Amino acid sequence: STAALSIEEPIAPAVEVNHTQLLINGQFVNAASGKTFPTLDPRSGDVIAHVAEGDAEDINRAVSAARKAFDEGPWPKMPAYERSKILWRFADLLEKHNDELATLEAWDSGKPYEQAAQIEVPMITRLIRYYAGWADKIHGLTVPSDGQYHVQTLHEPVGVAGQIIPWNFPLLMFAWKIGPALACGNSVVLKTAEQTPLSALYAARLLHEAGLPPGVLNVISGFGPTAGAALASHMEVDKLAFTGSTATGQAVLGLSAKSNLKRVTLELGGKSPFIICEDADVDHAVEQAHFALFFNQGQCCCAGSRTYVHERVYDEFVEKAKARAMKRVVGDPFKGGIEQGPQIDSEQFEKIMRYIRSGVDSGATLETGGDRLGKKGFYIQPTVFSDVKDDMLIAQDEIFGPVQTILKFKDLGDVVKRANSSHYGLAAGVFTQNIDTANTLTRALRVGTVWVNCYDIFDAAIPFGGYKMSGQGREKGIYSLQNYLQVKAVVTPLKNP
Ligand code: ADP
């Protein structure tokens, strides 16, 4: 059974929480209302710190600062190479403070410290360098004209970007959002998720240490219906980037439409198929399917959460997937060798437990897990269901927890139809040794990413985003620059052609 290690006595994290205020115009300040809210340790539900609670008034203050920083400069007008150097120095500081950032991240979100320290913080450092590299390589075109005109395009920053991020990858989402926005010369008001306000404040302080002018990046802790909605409906915000649930994505798109039609990009939910063909390397597929679902406590928008297995390898796969889940090491995120920590909070914990009960009630076979782990905190046993049918709730809804659902398929046409019969279209995994099968599936699947014989590869240059109700627009890579630029055509008559 699952190894539950030291989850009754949480290990004390080796870091102080120094930043709990709002960051507006380069200063840490209290909320206008003076209010605070507690951010909780998912290992115990205990309070880590009380954090300033931003609401509409603070969003107004932050947007004014961002507006001024954009309209009066120097940020959008300074030589792009200067912006690049500031981002590059920021990356150096992220590298230097890798372990403190990872500690705050693990403490506030419950993810294994080693995962944060060895994968996520290095990834954001890499991503900031990637966008530092773009800052001075953004330019328009000279365009041919039918008349005697000199025609050029200017690629200009959009202005003030509002950014709203979730709690599952607080630092990574922070970096995906601010990296391209700042490289293109925008100013930013970013609202963190109420569950995980700490790491972004620390990182934002480092960015100011690196030389960012005041007002260019403002960070507001607070709740969705207050601070988040105020940002999404603000008349002086030119662009909104949102990552979170599909329902909230629909809400913020509506707020944008009803206010000033700010440009919106959305990165939303998913129910990503993970397809194991009859010729797949089963052991490799088992390990990757396990990783695709259980990584980050199952709290990934692109989790491979519908595991479709060809009938010829189905029994072998289920046996091995179950054995792998039973070996998964769950425990205190600050203990070495831990693969899985607690879920983020009681709300998510209860929701996942409801889905597990629904799986049992609907007749799926519970192979392993299904219960909480320990008596406190939000730990859940790695859970595997087999004999799952497409019409069961656990095969349709985004569970966002450590619950693998395994379905059987007969042929490619069948699995393509079933894989595509979802309102979501974020990602997919395809496991086969046959190039023709891989080509058929990668083209037929209506999703924004297909990982073939791998999963969750997230290089800075690889675009990420959803088809259908999984989102609009792409983040990372060259594609995300488009979100933060607008094109101005400039037409000048040629006097003496
Ligand atoms: P989850 O269910 O995973 O918490 P949400 O979509 O509710 O996902 O949250 C993602 C982000 O959206 C968080 O920063 C949250 O505060 C924010 N948010 C939630 N509701 C709203 C809203 N009505 N308007 C703007 N932002 C919101």
In this prediction, the answer to ipTM > 0.90 reads yes
Dump pLDDT digits (tens) for 115-170.
999 999 999 999 999 999 999 999 999 999 999 999 999 999 999 999 999 999 99
Q: Give the helix/strand (H/E) hosting 72.
A: none
Model confidence at 479: pLDDT above 70: yes
Q: According to the model, what pLDDT value does residue 246 have?
A: 96
Q: Give the pLDDT band (50/70/90) at residue 8.
A: confident
CA distances 99 to 17, 120, 206, 336, 472, Å, are: 14, 11, 14, 14, 34
379-400 residues labelled b (16+ CB within 10 A) or e (exposed): bbbbbbbbbbeeebebbbebbb
Mean pLDDT along residues 53-68? 98
What is the rounded CA–CA span in Å between residue 378 and residue 344? Answer: 7
Dump pLDDT digits (tens) for 346-383.
999 999 999 999 999 999 999 999 999 998 999 999 99
For 125, phi then psi, to 5°, come to -60, -45
Span of 6-15, 250-259, 354-363 with lowest mean pLDDT: 6-15
Q: What percent of the chain has pLDDT over 90?
A: 97
Q: According to the model, what pLDDT value does residue 57 have?
A: 98
Find out whether the beta carbon of 86 lies less than 6 Å from any atom of ligand 1: no
Distance 334 CA to ligand 1 centre (A): 28
Q: According to the model, what pLDDT value does residue 7 have?
A: 73
What is the rounded CA–CA span in Å between residue 376 and residue 196? Answer: 19
What is the crossing angle of helices 282-294 and 314-327, to 10°? 50
Dump pLDDT digits (tens) for 301-359.
999 999 999 999 999 999 999 999 999 999 999 999 999 999 999 999 999 999 999 99
Dump pLDDT digits (tens) for 212-233.
999 999 999 999 999 999 999 9
| CA-proximal residue: ligand 1, atom 16 (nearest) | 224
Pair of tokens at residue 476: 């990372």
Find out whether the beta carbon of 37 lies less than 6 Å from any atom of ligand 1: no
Catalytic site includes residue 267: yes
Mean pLDDT along residues 418-435? 98
Helix (H, G, I), strand (E, B) or coil at 492: strand
| CA-proximal residue: ligand 1, atom 13 (nearest) | 193
Unique residue bearing structure tokens 């919106």: 264
Find out whether the beta carbon of 244 lies less than 6 Å from any atom of ligand 1: yes
Please tell me the chain's helix, strand, coil percentages from 3-state DSSP, rounded to the nearest 5: 40, 25, 40
CA distances 263 to 118, 189, 239, 486, Å, are: 35, 15, 5, 10
The model carries a pTM of 0.97
Among 105, 120, 267, 367, the active-site one is 267
For residue 92, what are the contacts with CB-CB under 8 A and spacing of at least 6?
210
Model confidence at 474: pLDDT above 60: yes
Model confidence at 275: pLDDT above 60: yes
Q: According to the model, what pLDDT value does residue 6 have?
A: 59
Q: Give the pLDDT band (50/70/90) at residue 1.
A: very low
For residue 407, what are the contacts with CB-CB under 8 A and spacing of at least 6?
306, 307, 308, 309, 388, 389, 390, 395, 418
Average pLDDT value for the chain: 97
Find out whether the beta carbon of 166 lies less than 6 Å from any atom of ligand 1: yes
Q: According to the model, what pLDDT value does residue 497 have?
A: 74
Q: Give the pLDDT band (50/70/90) at residue 496.
A: confident
Distance 225 CA to ligand 1 centre (A): 8
- Do residues 415 and 275 touch, judged by C-beta distance below 8 A? yes
Span of 8-22, 128-142, 281-295, 382-396 with lowest mean pLDDT: 8-22
CA distances 21 to 26, 109, 202, Å, are: 12, 19, 11
Triad 73, 79, 82: Cα angle to 5°: 95
| CA-proximal residue: ligand 1, atom 21 (nearest) | 224
Which residue, 278, 288, 281, 289, is CA-closest to 313? Answer: 278
Pocket test for ligand 1, best of 248, 300, 397 (most atoms within 8 A of CB): 248
Q: According to the model, what pLDDT value does residue 2 have?
A: 46
| CA-proximal residue: ligand 1, atom 9 (nearest) | 244
Mean pLDDT along residues 261-287? 98
Tell me the one-letter amino acid at 43. Answer: R
Find out whether the beta carbon of 164 lies less than 6 Å from any atom of ligand 1: yes
Query: CA neighbours within 13 Å on the CB side: how many for 178?
Result: 31
